[in-house]
């Protein structure tokens, strides 16, 4: 998966700037605030968006290049680490 438009609330950006955090880390690995992520078959996004009354945002694409998740930001590509909250971990 390649992500290129991860939603980051303005307040999270302000906290990141004030306390020296990385805003992408807050969006990808932080807790509590979340959005649901869905995949839509290629070419069907606009129909799905209409069905969701405009409440879908394209944030990336699923690729067949290789496994993992990559973040594209300002011309730079970085791997998204597998970390964060695990709901079923003991």
The pLDDT tens digits for 11-69 are: 889 999 999 999 988 888 876 667 788 999 989 999 999 999 989 999 999 987 778 89
Is residue 84 assigned to a domain?
no
Is residue 87 assigned to a domain?
no
Is residue 90 assigned to a domain?
no
Give the pLDDT of residue 83: 81
Give the pLDDT of residue 73: 87
Count: domains in the chain? 1
Q: What share of the chain is helix, strand, coil (3-state, %, to 5)?
A: 25, 15, 60
Is residue 85 assigned to a domain?
no
What pTM, to 2 d.p., does this model score? 0.73
Residues sharing a CB contact under 8 Å with residue 90, sequence separation 6 or more, in sequence order: none
Domain that holds residue 66: 2-79
**Does the pLDDT of residue 90 top 70, yes or no?**
no
């Amino acid at each position: 998966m390649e992500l290129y438009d991860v939603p980051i609330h303005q307040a999270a950006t302000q906290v990141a700037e004030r306390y020296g955090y990385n805003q992408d880390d807050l969006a990808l690995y932080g807790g509590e605030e979340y959005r649901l992520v869905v995949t839509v078959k290629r070419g069907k996004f606009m129909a799905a968006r209409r069905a969701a009354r405009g409440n879908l945002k394209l944030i990336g694409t699923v690729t067949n290049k290789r496994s993992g998740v990559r973040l594209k930001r300002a011309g730079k590509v970085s791997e998204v680490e597998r970390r964060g909250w695990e709901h079923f971990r003991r």
